[in-house]
Structure 1
Amino acid sequence: MRIRPVGAHALLLDCTSPDGVPEADLVDAWRAELWRRREQGDLAAVEIVPAASTVLLDGLPDPAVTAERLIRWEPAIVIAATARRGRGEHNDGTETVVPVDFDGPDLPAVAEHWGVDVPAVLSRLTRTRFRVAFCGFAPGFPYLTGLPAELALPRLATPRPRVPTGSVALAGPYAGIYPGASPGGWLLVGRTDLVLFDVHADPPARLGPGTPVRMAAA
């Protein structure tokens, strides 16, 4: 792990996986532990924001002191990441079931990439236990992990100018759900009516980091 200062009150943890621990598992272990330590008063941070291979801590009263603590916590967190992976514990809280109409235009392309038929794609997606690794791209857009690495998919060569709200899509190692209409280059496999982002809700994002997710045929 490398600790980088960001401005006057933030630190960026750049996670590098040791001994074959996937970066996503290491980032998730850091996120869970940092949230826990903040709740019990061991860490003062306004924001703890995970990404694909980093965790941002913002609103720190003393970044230098926090950096020293992070260095002391690192060995235990690496052990925790390894243990959680071994036990299959990667989720926080109650599972959210996302009802999906699997009628996306890119289902045949996904089936071709995976070397199966379309029903097998649907079976894989509904059997997979996903987890929200982080949110990004647009407010409330969840990056869902859980698919095997060998099923990673390329993005479209030319992004669509408009992807409808609620579109369920795949790209790289992730599944994702578009919380609002936007351009996008992911492969569309279905759609859901579940509201993913509401500025008046607390929290605004329906699927936050660590949330377990299961897709169910609507």
Structure 2
Amino acid sequence: MYIKLSFIVQKNRFKGLTDILKFVLEKWFLLDLICRLGRFGGDGPKHVRLEEVREKHSLQDRVEMLDAVPHSRVRSVLVAGHMFLNSSLTEAFCTAILEAASCGLLTVSTRVGCVPEVLPDDMVVLAEPDPEDNMVRAIGKAISILPSINPEEMHNRKLYSWQDVAKRAEIVYDRAMKCSNRSLLERLSRFLSCGAWAGKVLCMVMIIDYLLWRLLQPDDDIEKAPDISFRH
């Protein structure tokens, strides 16, 4: 039985797939890497490099390259694999691994950015991005626990909801509304305290920015928001 890894991401310089591709496929001969790339528009600057790696190591029959994947087909592409590989060298929240988990896939990812905070430990196997054999060992660990993974159970787990996101966003907006509206002079005084030279430079930049803003966007052209009284 072949074990397939799915990889959906834009092929850019922050993704370390080209660095671990050869290591992974040499260690596990029965491991097919399905490269589902370019979901965020275009092929990306790493497309040529990935093609070169595939040609150099004669991996044409084991590495499948796709172009941009429409959002409507993301699920069908993900469920074609058994695990999801995220080899990012830098990352923020990484919604890609969240999408993979919602499709019932076990995730193997580099331990970068906020990735460790996105999924619980039983849904993701993390590894340091350097050296490359860290990811190889992480994939080996994921393969060993793959038989115990129930995709349907993983899919049904409620980790995030729009209701929870809306409540958190409301808290942020409430805090912003309680902040005092400082005048330009008050803001300049705060920038001035940043340093003997840096403070003066920041003040000059802010003054120029303010003048350009008032020149390009007069008050008469700004639609004023109506006052709304909130009842809690």
TM-score w.r.t. length of structure 1:
0.23
Larger radius of gyration: 2
Higher relative contact order (CA 8 A, sep 6+): 1
The answer to which structure has the higher strand fraction is 1
The answer to which structure has the higher helix fraction is 2
